[in-house]
A and B are shown apart, each in its own frame.
Chain A
């Protein structure tokens, strides 16, 4: 399975130079980027700058004023973490087609993103969501881990995931938000084979909770291309169990490609309109290429 690849040392070494692309909740000081560090109350002085009107007089450095006769403001670096939550869809559709290993790709990408986020000492957790047999929604989160040394702790969680049930994305997000934690980074990894209303509702909730949201759209290469052996088939929906008889041929394959492309473009358009970073990950064979090239290009990583 592909998720095991995310824990291989050589692969992790290649991720060492990457950082999670976070647009908000970062220090705005010049110089190197400091993830999770904002100006504010802290104990570690960071710099001095000239006083400008409106600065808090509590941070005026009186000693410097006495010596230099200049008003200097002392700035402190406050240690403030960004909570990164990586939600992975573990519905039944993620396990089909079996050869495409969509779930493995999603978990592998999620783990890789977690590793990258942990490099900046961000608090990272993984979560999977699916539906229970009774029709409810199941959201299972791992504990937060902050340092890279603890990254292997995700391994049992990642490798123990089994897909099944329907996709309850909005409910899962609702459950997540019930924890009432502060806004952070939420990365949603799914095939998004749900209605537009479903994923829009989920994304809207995350955005409303002041999360910086990133979307990774996972599809199998075979289903994205409609690459099925020609012939007549009874198609069974992996989640709903609905049956449909179709004759698959060149025209059907083209129709499948068109539909997958439309699904992707609609999701991308929605994300663009709402400030959500959208990344497409079609095909498990392109796992490393997606991480090394696509994610940096789309701003998921830097």
Chain B
């Protein structure tokens, strides 16, 4: 039993008005009679001395008012659904990294699975269920099905991913579940009312929060430093309310370069230096101290060799050439950077470059292992564009960067500079997106991909006027450095964030070996590349006849990794009609049956009886107005 609109209980104040009326009626009129002798035979002549003298009419009026007030408040009872009705229910699971946190012997996802399986087991034959998981995106794991064994198998197969769970993904999942009459959301942190309102009107949302608050240690950054010259460092953070000991190691190609135990303040972080490294390779940092969430306990980085690679910077603007050279040397001070004006650049006799950075110019056909195209020029010649020329379809006067990486929406859009809009080839994936400051049209601001010529990176915005050195536009510099790092990294070795789209060279088919040791075979696309999206943190190995590639996936998300406060808050009530309920309320498959019709009928009956009594009294006493 409960109330759908508890605010309307204010109408019960009408009972106070009724009581006031009866109290006022207690002030009886004085009637002068010829003699009290005529009233001697009254069985109880003295009136009652109660404060509130009630009669049947009072109770009838109180019953009518009370029934109407409760009807307005939406009194309902929970009843088992009618036998002929087959419930449609949807299970929405948070599959973010936080759900892999271990609470004692079980993980949060196991707790959620167990709760869902209990609901399935208590369902009647014929009830259908769908299973939807979400983290960065929502995905239907099980279409609505009355085959409960299949539903159980789907639920038991659910595994959390090393990805943050986004509210937008939850909204998408709830929209996917709209066909269901009831939706059960299993998550380790409260959802906002706005997100739950996506379930739509008339759908009951039961929110099941799993897990208890726990502390967590995470590696949030790893920088290898320049080989032989500068120290690398890693940043480790304590995501708990208590000081924690943190034992960690740093390996370079499986050889330990650092083993240290440090104390981290509550909610504090520590920068741990190491090196300088003596040679290049894969740097691996690992927290040895056991903690509930393992996905953020490891991190990989690539240390470039100290080989003096040659880099060419082409730009018509000398300031841009100077800025880009500074950035390149900041990434790797062993680079030999050559800058040139495209108008004066002569292709003949140039060596093979490790990286060619081309700003606001055509690619004259430079021989380079990787290319970074910045603010590409549209092809205005009458001849067809050369191979590798990125097609420019438009330009904007001022671009704003809106999101970077995989669904990382910037807290505040970054106003950049003029930018070019390109029709990206299929082998490039978007790294950053932006919009025109004057309109809301979205386009790619940064992209990366491999084609037959090698790695190609794109920065669509202009970097003139020392944009990269502007402290207010630090995000543009970070994006550029990341892009340069990816371009300088070997193609067969990629270090990405979980959830990023990765493509590696492969022959017709390739075998992907995941961090957990599982392997599966995929087919390469037309340009000889295999695409994968690492959802677990760790090392992926792609083996094909063309060779062997390795992808390291790093995971950290400040919100998702913070599992200390996840369970302390309660779910918010949505403003929309969708109504989340507590765990206790949603434990059974009960059906809400409003009592408003019965309450209104009761009020009408009470008023009819009262009218009949009054009419009878009026007839008996021959009084017109009773």
How long is the Cα–Cα vector from A258 to B40 in the complex, in angstroms? Answer: 10
A235–B620 touching, CB < 8 Å:
no
The interface residues of chain A lying within 8 Å CB-to-CB of B37 are 193, 259, 263
B39–A234 touching, CB < 8 Å:
no
The interface residues of chain A lying within 8 Å CB-to-CB of B42 are 246, 251-252, 255-256
- Listed stretches B26-34, B488-496, B514-522; interface member: B26-34
B32–A245 touching, CB < 8 Å:
no
Residue of chain B at shortest CB distance from A191: B34
The interface residues of chain B lying within 8 Å CB-to-CB of A226 are 38
- What is the distance, in angstroms, from B621's C-beta to the closest C-beta of chain A? 5
The interface residues of chain B lying within 8 Å CB-to-CB of A230 are 617, 621, 623, 626
Does A236 make an interface contact (CB < 8 A)? Answer: yes
Interface centre among B35, B39, B45 (most CB of A within 10 A): B35
How long is the Cα–Cα vector from A260 to B622 in the complex, in angstroms? Answer: 21
The interface residues of chain A lying within 8 Å CB-to-CB of B621 are 227, 229-230
Does B545 make an interface contact (CB < 8 A)? Answer: no
Q: Which of B29, B39, B617, B620 contacts A255 (CB 8 A)?
A: B39
- What is the distance, in angstroms, from B134's C-beta to the closest C-beta of chain A? 69
A236–B30 touching, CB < 8 Å:
yes
The interface residues of chain B lying within 8 Å CB-to-CB of A255 are 39, 41-43
- What is the distance, in angstroms, from B23's C-beta to the closest C-beta of chain A? 13
The interface residues of chain A lying within 8 Å CB-to-CB of B51 are none
Per-residue A-contact encoding for B27-71, CB less than 8 Å = 1, 0 else: 011111111111111110111100001000000000000000000
Per-residue B-contact encoding for A231-274, CB less than 8 Å = 1, 0 else: 11111111110111111001110011011101100000000000
B34–A256 touching, CB < 8 Å:
no
B39–A235 touching, CB < 8 Å:
yes
Interface of B is mostly: loop
How long is the Cα–Cα vector from A28 to B571 in the complex, in angstroms? Answer: 115
A233–B45 touching, CB < 8 Å:
no
- What is the distance, in angstroms, from B21's C-beta to the closest C-beta of chain A? 14
How long is the Cα–Cα vector from A234 to B28 in the complex, in angstroms? Answer: 6
B28–A245 touching, CB < 8 Å:
yes
Q: Which of A238, A247, A251, A263 contacts B33 (CB 8 A)?
A: A238
Name the interface residues of B84-101: CB closer than 8 Å to any CB of A.
none
The interface residues of chain B lying within 8 Å CB-to-CB of A93 are 34-35
The interface residues of chain A lying within 8 Å CB-to-CB of B25 are 232
The interface residues of chain A lying within 8 Å CB-to-CB of B48 are 247
Interface residues on B, range: 20 to 34
How long is the Cα–Cα vector from A193 to B34 in the complex, in angstroms? Answer: 8
CB-CB under 8 A for A256 and B28, given A230-B617, A246-B47: no
Name the interface residues of B608-623: CB closer than 8 Å to any CB of A.
617, 620-623
The interface residues of chain A lying within 8 Å CB-to-CB of B620 are 250
How long is the Cα–Cα vector from A238 to B48 in the complex, in angstroms? Answer: 23
A259–B53 touching, CB < 8 Å:
no
Does A88 make an interface contact (CB < 8 A)? Answer: no
Q: Which of B28, B33, B626 contacts A237 (CB 8 A)?
A: B33
A235–B46 touching, CB < 8 Å:
no
Chain A: residues with Cβ within 8 Å of the partner, total of 41
B31–A234 touching, CB < 8 Å:
yes
Does A220 make an interface contact (CB < 8 A)? Answer: yes
- What is the distance, in angstroms, from B25's C-beta to the closest C-beta of chain A? 8
How long is the Cα–Cα vector from A252 to B45 in the complex, in angstroms? Answer: 8
The interface residues of chain B lying within 8 Å CB-to-CB of A252 are 39, 42
How long is the Cα–Cα vector from A94 to B41 in the complex, in angstroms? Answer: 21
B34–A223 touching, CB < 8 Å:
yes
- What is the distance, in angstroms, from B381's C-beta to the closest C-beta of chain A? 107
The interface residues of chain A lying within 8 Å CB-to-CB of B41 are 255-256, 258-259, 262
B31–A259 touching, CB < 8 Å:
no
A236–B31 touching, CB < 8 Å:
yes
Does A96 make an interface contact (CB < 8 A)? Answer: yes
A235–B623 touching, CB < 8 Å:
no
The interface residues of chain B lying within 8 Å CB-to-CB of A237 are 33, 35-36
A229–B36 touching, CB < 8 Å:
no
How long is the Cα–Cα vector from A228 to B33 in the complex, in angstroms? Answer: 10
Per-residue B-contact encoding for A86-130, CB less than 8 Å = 1, 0 else: 000000111011000010000000000000000000000000000
The interface residues of chain A lying within 8 Å CB-to-CB of B34 are 92-94, 96-97, 102, 191, 193, 220, 223, 238-239
The interface residues of chain A lying within 8 Å CB-to-CB of B35 are 93, 191, 193, 237-239
How long is the Cα–Cα vector from A229 to B29 in the complex, in angstroms? Answer: 11
How long is the Cα–Cα vector from A259 to B38 in the complex, in angstroms? Answer: 6
How long is the Cα–Cα vector from A97 to B31 in the complex, in angstroms? Answer: 9
- What is the distance, in angstroms, from A203's C-beta to the closest C-beta of chain B? 18
The interface residues of chain A lying within 8 Å CB-to-CB of B623 are 229-230
The interface residues of chain B lying within 8 Å CB-to-CB of A223 are 33-34, 38
The interface residues of chain A lying within 8 Å CB-to-CB of B39 are 235, 244, 246, 252, 255-256, 259
CB-CB under 8 A for A238 and B28, given A230-B617, A232-B47, A247-B47: no
How long is the Cα–Cα vector from A231 to B33 in the complex, in angstroms? Answer: 15
Q: Which of A92, A220, A233 contacts B29 (CB 8 A)?
A: A233
Per-residue A-contact encoding for B324-360, CB less than 8 Å = 1, 0 else: 0000000000000000000000000000000000000
A-B contact list, 22 entries, CB within 8 Å: A93-B35, A96-B34, A193-B34, A193-B35, A229-B621, A233-B30, A234-B29, A235-B33, A235-B39, A236-B31, A238-B32, A242-B36, A243-B30, A244-B39, A245-B47, A251-B42, A255-B42, A256-B38, A259-B37, A259-B39, A260-B38, A263-B37
- Interface of B toward A, CB cutoff 8 Å: 25-26, 28-43, 45-48, 53, 617, 620-623, 626
Q: 9 closest Cβ contacts across the A-B interface?
A: A93-B34, A193-B35, A245-B47, A255-B41, A233-B31, A96-B34, A232-B28, A234-B30, A237-B36
